[in-house]
Amino acid sequence: MINGNLKADYGADERVLNNRNKQLFVYGSMLLLAIFPFVAGDYAMLMACKMGILLIAVVGVNVLTGYTGLVSLGHGAFVAIGAYATVVFSNLFSGLPEGILPLIVIPLAVIVSALVGIIVGLPSLRVKGLYLAVATLAASFIVTFLIEQDLFAPWTGGVNGINTPTANLLGWELDTKREMYVLITVLALTTLLAAQNLFRTRVGRAFIAIRDRDYSAEILGISLLRYKLMSFAISAAYCGLSGALFAYFYARILPEQFELDLSLELVAALIVGGMGRTMGPVFGVFIVMMVPELIKIAMGAATGGSLELARYTGPVQEIVFGLLLVTFLLKEPLGINQITDRILRSANRWPFARG
Amino acid sequence: MLSVSDLHLSFGGIKALQGVNFEAKEGEITGVIGPNGAGKTSLFNAISGFYAPDKGTVRFDGQDITDITPDKRASLGMARTFQNIALFRGMTVLDNIKLGGHTRLKTGMFSAFKYFGSARREELELRRDIEERVIDFLEIDHIRKYPITMLSYGLQKRVELARALAMRPRVLLLDEPVAGMNREETADMARFILDVQEQFGTTILLVEHDMHMVMDICSHIVVLNFGQQIASGTPAEVSKNPAVIEAYLGAAA
Amino acid sequence: MGQFIQFAINGLMSGAIYALIAVGIVSVFKATKVVNFAHGYLIMFGAYFYFTFAVIIPGQEWAPAWLASWQPGWMVEMRQGLNMFSPLGAVLDWAANVPRIIFGLIGAVLCNALLGMLIERSLMRPLMGQSVFAMIMVTVGLISILSGAASLIWTADAAFVPHIAPNTPIRFEVFGTMVFLFGADIVNMIIALLIFGGIVAMVKFTKSGVAIRATAEDQSTAYSMGISVPKIFSRAWILASATGAVAGAILATRNGISPSLGLFGFSVLAIVLMGGLDSYVGCFIAAMSVGVLEAMTQWKLGGEWAEIVPYVAVLVVIIFRPHGLMGQKEVERI
Ligand SMILES: Nc1ncnc2c1ncn2[C@@H]1O[C@H](COP(=O)(O)OP(=O)(O)OP(=O)(O)O)[C@@H](O)[C@H]1O
Ligand SMILES: [Mg+2]
């Protein structure tokens, strides 16, 4: 018996940060995030923003794949929808005051993504596993294909991409990375917290029940129709929000940025970090973003900046990315979260016992 | 309370049910027995809505529920356990049981995102209810934080019953609740089933191979063989019925 | 009407190649329950191997001259006096290439089979019996590994690769319209159909085919019946990558070699699902229909729209028939 874990009432027992180490970790990280923009250089700032944007999308995929057990290989398309919807709505409502535009455009982009998510999720009611993975993949090919078409080019810019607006929140123009960092971080933390909350209630539990044993979930009164589509809608909404931030962050967006590579990156980050765990996406995004950067830096140093050899960087990054995913699947299928769990557990028990 | 009439069900060539008729009376324990492959589990699956019968109706409290989905039957107050334990293996005992409360809770997506406020209040209320009414009742307080995979077979069966009870069911279907249990565990389970009937007045439908237990606790018994209903009546009537004796001896021979 | 026939025939010809690719995905699925998302990239490797053995190696200084171009005296003689587009000229052009075509095909099939075996041994087998999800995600990881590796190994721009058969143009009149076909396309179609038929016959009638089917039914029962399940796994992968090599070579001669060959695999994945995953017949029907549909789309809407035909088709089919055209519905025992 570990005395430190005795709980006084149910409220205390239901807490998420139920021990000192978890509290230390979470509050410490928040403090670091707050200090970060004051000490970080431009490059670190850029990386942090990219990670935050990707994180929101991966949290979305986690809701669907990690918690509900519905595999999607096409969620890059929802990021695309969020990003393009942001541009399209901004141009559509350009008459409105700039300061309130994002407050209208972002929610609209999220809603559009969620609605498309529900449509793409429809096959999930009738097919499982593999069929769904291929169906989502097919849907995502169709979405990016349509964005590229000349037919829609007046709105989307077609294959050449389109310029994006700058976010302006009630007169505060977010035209530097440091300013965008604030918005991205706040939204990333909020969405992470919202996802965590979901799984403390009946809604999130229903998702997990569907993942673990769908017929058993049904017998408990969980409507598969309702909850599978809800899971699709939530995950697509998260990806849509990520896309909206993507559009505000970059000066220009191109359809090719949202193709298969992005969808795979989302899934890979989730698997590497740990599926069906709150912190999984956080760890996963960090690794999936940092490893290619480290390769670039290492290859740059090794080749002495030779342009001839710099060609190899892309392929090597690609290979390492694949190896990373494969290695985790073979060696630690529950991801980094499993490793940190082990560390936290032994820290929590220290100095009584190990393991 | 729960009645089926003229129920027929087949899988390709296999006739799993051929005209089953009976009623489970309110507040009583009704047993369904029969040799292996007789169609007992298929009957449960038809009652809970997993398989659509070819013919016949299922009525719940007078209402025809033959064509509604399993989750709607749950909201009406029907709960069940499975022959092959169907717990959620990725969750703790407590979360499994909490899922039983699903239909009674109201939290929607947006209040779930917020958690603090109505969702939290509802969750804590659910927790208190489960603790008092289910966990204490079934004496599983010591394992509430355990993952399912760490439990013995007997305890898993008990957790599955707990999950069903958390639904506050009006009708409870139990598919072989004591299969594979030792004598002591069987006695415990029989006691729990009787307690459920007594304390909550739940109507219970029970499939079981353990004849002693069935004869002891059921007030009415339905006998199936090769999908056909060959007898029904009180334990005393059924045990004297020549067709039943023949079916069991035939199966044993 | 003639136009229609022209496009329909074109469609059937690409449909046959889809079927050839599909056979690899279906075989692996039948034996291992794994859908190989990286199959297109295996095909890309097959194409690059063909390029290596049919173009790069014969072009080396140390390679014998007849490998690069076989010009025996009688052939040179026959060649003289023929005009540029004569059918016999095309046949003779092809004949000069025969040594390197054969060398290329053998090299591609062997190397790709080896690659398939390597993948199965190192990545699939450790996960066997544990998690199909993990195995499938491994094939997703394989997409990046193979695609990166290909661009590391084959840095040179892929040049022309020799057609497998003489590329004589054939033309004939149907309902007053000219229909054009190319000899190589017809031979490609025949090769694809022969391989497809051969594999189906093998799975239906031979002993190892029966073993594959038994494994597909139930792995643990197959084990207990004395079937070596690991061997089945490995054979399925070898089969898939070897047929993939032929498909890759054919595609290389048709559309040239480029990294986008990998993406081709996804359209075939859609086709396989449309057919019903474990049904060769279903996949054949799906492959042919998508081939024809694509050709018709190309005719009526333009080439670009043909790109998404397989994806739209699979979504439509799944909505009406969740398990594909010929797939079996799995009834879960509760
Ligand atoms: N999903 C299914 N598909 C095909 N046949 C089925 C299915 N479910 C049950 N059956 C068949 O229906 C018949 C009745 O099976 P059922 O499981 O209802 O028997 P049971 O009385 O519960 O037997 P046991 O005492 O062994 O649990 C059996 O022949 C069985 O093989
Ligand atoms: Mg049974």
Mean pLDDT score, A184-205: 94
Tell me what the mean pLDDT of segment A315-333 comes to.
Answer: 93
Q: Are A246 and A83 in contact (CB under 8 A)?
A: yes
Find the closest chain C residue to B86 by CA distance. Answer: C334
CA angle B115, B116, B122 (to 5 degrees): 75
For residue B33, report the distance from its CA to the centre of ligand 1, in Å. Answer: 14
C202 — pLDDT class (breaks 50, 70, 90)? confident
Interface-testing mutation among C140, C297, C314, with chain A (most A C-beta atoms within 10 A): C140
pLDDT of C160 above 90: no
Residue A1 in this model has a pLDDT that exceeds 50: no
| For A194, nearest residue in chain B (alpha carbons) | B113
- Report which secondary-structure segment, H or E, holds A210: helix A202-212
CA–CA separation, A265 and C41 (whole Å): 18
Lowest model confidence (mean pLDDT) among A72-76, C34-38, C229-233: C229-233
Q: Does C334 touch chain B (CB under 8 A)?
A: yes
| B166-196 confidence digits (pLDDT tens) | 999 999 999 999 988 888 999 999 999 999 9
Q: How many CB pairs under 8 A join A and B?
A: 112
Domain count, chain A: 1
Substitution target in A116, A120, A131 with the highest count of C β-carbons within 10 Å is A131
- At the topology level, CATH places domain C2-320 in ABC transporter involved in vitamin B12 uptake, BtuC (1.10.3470)
Taking contacts as CB-CB distances below 8 angstroms, the residues of chain B near C131 are none
Provide, as residue numbers in chain B, all residues whose Cβ is less than 8 Å from the Cβ of A14: 123-124, 127
Nearest chain A CA: its distance from B99 CA (Å): 7
Q: What local confidence, expressed as pLDDT, does residue B98 receive?
A: 95
For the cut 80, the answer to whether the pLDDT of residue C72 exceeds it is no
Encode chain C in three state secondary structure.
CHHHHHHHHHHHHHHHHHHHHHHHHHHHHHHHCCCCCCHHHHHHHHHHHHHHHHHHCCCCCCCCHHHHCCCCHHHHHHHCCCCCCCHHHHHHHHHHHHHHHHHHHHHHHHHHHHHHHHHHHHHHHHHCCCCHHHHHHHHHHHHHHHHHHHHHHCCCCCCCCCCCCCCCEEEEEECCEEEEEEHHHHHHHHHHHHHHHHHHHHHHHCHHHHHHHHHHHCHHHHHHCCCCHHHHHHHHHHHHHHHHHHHHHHHHHHHCCCCCHHHHHHHHHHHHHHHCCCCHHHHHHHHHHHHHHHHHHHHHHCHHHHCCHHHHHHHHHHHHCCCCCCCCCCCCCC
> What residues pack around ion ligand 2 (CB closer than 5 A)?
B 40-41, 83
Residue A101, both tokens? 């535009």
> B39 C-alpha vs ligand 1 centroid, how far in Å?
5
CB contact under 8 A, C140 and A137: no
A153 pLDDT tier (thresholds 50, 70, 90): confident
Residue A150 alpha carbon to ligand 1 centre in Å: 57
Residues of A in contact with B86 (CB under 8 A): 213, 215-216, 219
Summarised one tens digit per residue, pLDDT across range A207-227 is 999 999 999 999 999 999 999
- The reported pLDDT for the residue numbered C157 is 67
Q: Which residue, by CA, sits nearest to atom 25 of ligand 1?
A: B36
**Is A137 within 8 Å of C266 when comparing Cβ atoms?**
yes
**Residue linked to tokens 């407050």:** A103
Nearest-neighbour CA in chain C from B45: distance (Å): 8
A221: left (phi over 0), alpha (psi -120 to 50) or beta: left
Flag residues of chain B having pLDDT under 50: 253
Overall fold of domain B22-52+68-77+169-253: Rossmann fold (3.40.50)
Helix (H, G, I), strand (E, B) or coil at B24: strand
- Proximal ligand: closest to the CA of B15: 1
Question: Which ranges constitute the DSSP H helices of B105-182?
Answer: 109-114, 118-130, 153-165
For residue A207, give the CATH number of its domain: 1.10.3470
Chain C residues with CB-CB distance to B41 below 8 A: 334
pLDDT digits (tens, 9 = 90+) for C321-331: 888 888 777 66
Half-sphere exposure of B201 (CA within 13 A, CB side): 2
The answer to whether residue C2 scores a pLDDT higher than 80 is no
Contact B100, B164 (CB under 8 A): yes
Residues 6+ apart with CB under 8 A from B250: none
Tens-digit pLDDT profile for residues A47-82: 999 999 999 999 999 999 999 999 999 999 999 999
Residue B246 sits at φ, ψ, to 5 deg, of -60, -45
Query: So where are chain B's domains?
Result: 22-52+68-77+169-253, 87-168
Q: How far is CA C7 from the centre of its chain?
A: 21
Q: Are A16 and A195 in contact (CB under 8 A)?
A: no
Proximal ligand: closest to the CA of B32: 1
Report how many Cβ contacts below 8 Å link chain B to chain C: 6
Which of A254-258, A300-304, B118-122 is least confident? A300-304
Judge: C334–B11 Cβ closer than 8 Å, yes or no.
no
Q: Does C330 touch chain B (CB under 8 A)?
A: no
Q: Give pTM, 2 decimals.
A: 0.92
A110-119, A182-191, C53-62, C276-285: the lowest-pLDDT one: C53-62
Take residue B227 and report the two structure tokens written for it: 């999908």
Residue A146 lies in a domain: yes
User: Is the pLDDT reported for residue A309 higher than 50?
Assistant: yes
Q: What is the ipTM, given to two decimal places?
A: 0.92
Task: Give residue C331's pLDDT.
Answer: 66
Question: Where does ligand 1 bind, in terms of residues with CB under 6 Å?
Answer: B 11, 14, 16, 34, 36-42, 83; C 331, 333
Alpha carbon distance B217, B202 (integer Å): 14
Q: In angstroms, what is the span from residue B224 Cα to ligand 1's centroid?
A: 12
The rounded distance, in Å, linking the Cα atoms of B9 and B50 is 12
How many angstroms separate the Cα of A13 from the Cα of each of A7, A194, A201, C291?
A: 6, 20, 15, 61
Q: In this model, does residue C249 exceed pLDDT 90?
A: yes
Averaged pLDDT score across all residues of chain C: 86
What percent of chain A shows pLDDT beyond 90?
62
